[in-house]
Amino acid sequence: MEWTLSTSENPPSIYLGEQLVVRRTAGGGWEVGHDGQWRSLREPRDYWRVVILLEKPMPEVVAAVGKFGDDFPYVNVVYSGLLMSQNWARLAVGWIPLLPAADQGMLVPTLADIEKTSAFDQNLRRTARQMRKLIERAAGMTEIR
């Protein structure tokens, strides 16, 4: 995926591929556009539209998106990726260690669900379990069994 940052536009935009655009709204939120149709990114599940960001290393995405402010909800991109196919879930798991601890904690129930889902291969289920346990220990949470 090739993407470019355009700060000369108002509002500044990130082009993901040839047609998908992510930008800030006038109200400070986020939206995604495709073929002139714009959708708000409000709820965590709305971010399935931009899981393509997971194809890049998180620091690279943060460097680009950070030019618009430091409040982009990366955890929502990760959450959406975890809910999708095995490929997206695998990419999303790779971003989890780079998220703030509070954001990681929000993903514990979803990681627990992945552990129990036979649609995912054993390696991904094992990785989800290890990640969940690390997050729980770090936060002093009671482990989910």
Residue 99 located in a structural domain: yes
pLDDT value of position 86? 95
Residue 24 located in a structural domain: yes
Residue 144 located in a structural domain: no
pLDDT value of position 64? 81
Residue 116 located in a structural domain: yes
Residue 145 located in a structural domain: no
Check: pTM over 0.95? Answer yes or no: no
Q: 74: domain range?
A: 3-139
pLDDT value of position 8? 62
Question: Residue 116: CA atoms inside 13 Å, Cβ hemisphere, count?
Answer: 8
Euclidean distance between CA atoms 2 and 71, whole angstroms: 23
Written as six digits, the tokens of 138 are: 């770090």
Residue 127 located in a structural domain: yes
Q: How many distinct structural domains can be found in the chain?
A: 1
Single-letter code of the amino acid located at 129: R
pLDDT value of position 7? 62
Residue 134 located in a structural domain: yes
Provide DSSP, the chain.
--EEEESSSSS-EEEETTTEEEEE-TTS-EEEEETTEEEE--SGGGGGGGGGGGGS-HHHHHHHHGGG-S---HHHHHHHHHHS-HHHHHHHHHHGGGS-HHHHHHTHHHHHHHHT-TTS-HHHHHHHHHHHHHHHHHHTPPPP-
Residue 26 located in a structural domain: yes
Residue located via tokens 């009671």: 142
Euclidean distance between CA atoms 4 and 12, whole angstroms: 11
Euclidean distance between CA atoms 122 and 119, whole angstroms: 9
Per-10-residue mean pLDDT, the chain, length 145:
65 78 87 90 91 91 80 94 95 96 95 94 96 92 62
